[in-house]
Structure 1
Amino acid sequence: MYKKLVLIFILLLSISGCGQPSIEKLNKVGLLVPETVNDQVWGTKGYKGLLKIQSELNVDVFYKEGMDNEQVVRNAIRDFQEKGVNLVFGHGSEYESFFEEISKDYPDIHFVFTNGVAKGKNVTSLNFEAHAMGFFGGMVAGEMSKTNKVGVLAAFEWQPEVNGFFEGAYYQNEEVDVDIQFVQDWDNVPLAMEYLDVIIGNGADVVYVAGDGYNVPVIERLKEKGLYAVGFVSDQADLGEGTVLTSTVQHVDRLYELVAKRYNTGELESGDLYFDFQDDVIDLGKFSPLVDESFQEDLEDHIKKYQKTEKLPNQF
């Protein structure tokens, strides 16, 4: 009789637990970057996010560089698992295809990557709603251009900030022409320089450098030529306040900390999540002193209205 009661008790516990979400406390965190954490742009942002998690949540963290193919990623995940890691950040959209398959073999690890479509019960994609940041960056370019010609040096056609920049520049200056060139790569500096020459040759005096792997050398070239830039991902004012008018900043470090805290409290959802100005992970960087203060104030008002209404200036 005693054994029967024990069995019944266990059965009732198992039934009552069905359908309840399991809360997995954060143990240790791993970060994979395709290149390096010392690039001063995208990779560095991810690394700073990892350090924020370590500091705020008091957990051990690990990172691996050069994670650019499935085999090295598999080896890294195996190593992370042995160390007790249960939350892994793949720092880029390239990890979408890797995690789709690898996540099936590691159900006790939650996999996170950026800018893609998550497939798997333990996979989350973090997506920046970049259209608005591009719009406000475009407004700055349209306002500051003396030639009424501005350029976008982007990596890929799918980047929502590209159309946003075009719309913002035209909203601010109906006389402006926008020359858009796509490098088809985040890191191809020589090709980016070739396209930059095309943009400059077409008369642009402001360029939105929307590629984090090549934007530093491109901005340096613009500085040499006495032209202007709108920075990307990081606040790049330190590259020259007479060159960088402002930057469209994505605070990946803040976002990673937010995600880790959600995981620690059982609130991190699988699937595709979206973040914008309203989440305090996107904003504009420091303005160049060349940008008129009254325009800066107007732009800040537009951003505040967008945060409240989710409508851009051209949507009212």
Structure 2
Amino acid sequence: MKYMNLFISCTLLFFLTSCSSSSSQDVHTSKIGLLLPQTIDDQGWNSKGYQGMLKVQASLNVDVLMREDTSTFESVNTAVQEFVKEDVSLIIGHSHIYADFFMVLKDEYPDIHFVSFNGDVEGDNITSVHFEGYAMGYFAGMLASELSQTNTIGVIGAFQFQPEIQGFKDGALFHKPTVTVLVDYVDSWVNKDKAITIFHEMKEEESDIFYPAGDGFHIDIIEEVKKEGLHAIGYVGDQIDLGESVILTSTVQEIEDLYEHIAKQYRQGELMSGNQYFDFQEGVISMGEFGQEVPEETVRWLTEVIDTYIETSELPTEHTNDTY
């Protein structure tokens, strides 16, 4: 029994330290710090991050300390100081904004391993995990162009750097070169008023399918789509429960599964520092449930296309065209 207890303690410690972390890290630490840029009730990115950490907390029996609405360097610095006092050794910032903040803080706290999302990092005690959004947007664009009755579809993005937006446009035009793809940006994750204004402008241009690619305003856009009797493709989570006659499908980023994947890599000593990338092949990005307005033959067609991508890592255009 004595050796079994020692094994369990060492296993937990191994999870809480990166494979690149120093061996001098506190052996008693069993706490994870989570930073969220907004609140957990957004029904999108932040709520999924919170649910993901609950899953880790339950499966690994570790304490999770969380700070919401932490989006400035000052608030992040304060939160890190508080986490250090609580003996936290792994801090996860649930947004790309934390990459730059953590790059400043990592040298000050060499015994903490920092993890951010979709940022650019380098160093021994810092990792950034990236969702490869291009393919999910590509498949969403293919479906939208297939089902549009007006031959006009719209994507409302948060920022121009989002690969899923270019993917949506490229996939739509590959599948149906005659389709009109309207693209506009809110320049914010959370500016609901501007997003709704863009929606109505696109509606006036006869867009009948919308892809709201912003986790702070996507639910509001879907509600507007529902009022107008149009269709939408959900974003980040599976939004089919918002209306099976409204939602065609969703581009789902499985935050919960990614957290579990990261945890397993920590346990096995396989999570490397630097930038790490995840896509359909890792099982952390998928298409959600299809709505009742999507014909069965269309579901079969798109599912086969996605399965081929998972097997080959090649999008359809790569088989027939030299460029996207």
1:156 equivalent in alignment to 2:159: yes
Please give the residue correspondences for 1:82-97 in structure 2 after superposition, counting only pairs within 5 Å.
82-97=85-100
User: Which of 190, 193, 198 is the aligned partner of 2:196?
Assistant: 193
Aligned counterparts of 1:236 and 1:252: Cα–Cα separation in 2: 15
In the alignment, which residue of structure 2 is the partner of 1:215?
A: 218
In the alignment, which residue of structure 2 is the partner of 1:313?
A: 316
Tell me the amino acid that sits aligned with residue 131 of structure 2. F
Give the TM-score taking structure 2 as reference length: 0.88
Is contact 2:91–2:113 with CA below 8 Å preserved after alignment?
yes
Question: What is the total number of aligned residue pairs between the two structures?
Answer: 297
SS of the aligned residue for 1:105 comes to coil
Aligned counterparts of 2:258 and 2:168: Cα–Cα separation in 1: 23
Residue 21 of structure 1, CA deviation: 7.2
Aligned counterparts of 2:60 and 2:265: Cα–Cα separation in 1: 11
Aligned counterparts of 2:83 and 2:264: Cα–Cα separation in 1: 19
SS of the aligned residue for 1:88 comes to strand
SS of the aligned residue for 1:273 comes to strand
User: Which of 111, 116, 119 is the aligned partner of 1:113?
Assistant: 116
Please give the residue correspondences for 1:165-244 in structure 2 after superposition, counting only pairs within 5 Å.
165-244=168-247
- Give the CA RMSD over aligned residues: 1.5
User: Which of 268, 289, 294 is the aligned partner of 1:291?
Assistant: 294
Sequence identity percentage: 44
Q: In the TM superposition, what whole-angstrom CA distance separates every residue of 1:184-205 from its partner, at most 9, and x where no partner exists? A: 1110001111111111111100
- Structure with greater Cα Rg: 1
Aligned counterparts of 1:81 and 1:258: Cα–Cα separation in 2: 25
Tell me the amino acid that sits aligned with residue 171 of structure 1. F
Residue 119 of structure 1, CA deviation: 3.1
Aligned counterparts of 1:47 and 1:173: Cα–Cα separation in 2: 39
Structure 1 residue runs of 5 or longer lacking an equivalent are 1-19
Is contact 1:29–1:61 with CA below 8 Å preserved after alignment?
yes
Residue 256 of structure 1, CA deviation: 1.5
In the alignment, which residue of structure 1 is the partner of 2:5?
A: none
In the alignment, which residue of structure 2 is the partner of 1:81?
A: 84
SS of the aligned residue for 1:141 comes to helix
Is contact 2:21–2:125 with CA below 8 Å preserved after alignment?
no
Q: In the TM superposition, what whole-angstrom CA distance separates every residue of 1:230-264 from its partner, at most 9, and x where no partner exists? A: 11101011111111100000011211221123223
Is contact 2:106–2:126 with CA below 8 Å preserved after alignment?
yes
Aligned counterparts of 1:279 and 1:261: Cα–Cα separation in 2: 13
Aligned counterparts of 2:188 and 2:302: Cα–Cα separation in 1: 31
Aligned counterparts of 1:86 and 1:300: Cα–Cα separation in 2: 41
Residue 22 of structure 1, CA deviation: 5.2
Give the TM-score taking structure 1 as reference length: 0.91
Is contact 1:246–1:288 with CA below 8 Å preserved after alignment?
yes
1:56 equivalent in alignment to 2:64: no
Tell me the amino acid that sits aligned with residue 195 of structure 1. I
User: Which of 15, 36, 40 is the aligned partner of 2:39?
Assistant: 36
Aligned counterparts of 2:306 and 2:120: Cα–Cα separation in 1: 28
SS of the aligned residue for 2:65 comes to strand
- After TM superposition, the structure 1 stretch with the greater mean CA deviation from structure 2, 93-102 or 164-173, is 164-173
Tell me the amino acid that sits aligned with residue 105 of structure 1. E
Aligned counterparts of 2:297 and 2:285: Cα–Cα separation in 1: 22
Is contact 1:22–1:266 with CA below 8 Å preserved after alignment?
no
Q: Structure 1 167/44 Cα, relative in aligned 2: closer, same or farther at 3 Å?
A: same
Residue 265 of structure 1, CA deviation: 3.1
1:101 equivalent in alignment to 2:109: no
Is contact 2:159–2:185 with CA below 8 Å preserved after alignment?
yes
Is contact 1:34–1:92 with CA below 8 Å preserved after alignment?
yes
Residue 300 of structure 1, CA deviation: 0.8
In the alignment, which residue of structure 2 is the partner of 1:248?
A: 251
Structure 2 residue runs of 5 or longer lacking an equivalent are 1-19, 320-324
Aligned counterparts of 1:291 and 1:171: Cα–Cα separation in 2: 20
In the alignment, which residue of structure 2 is the partner of 1:147?
A: 150
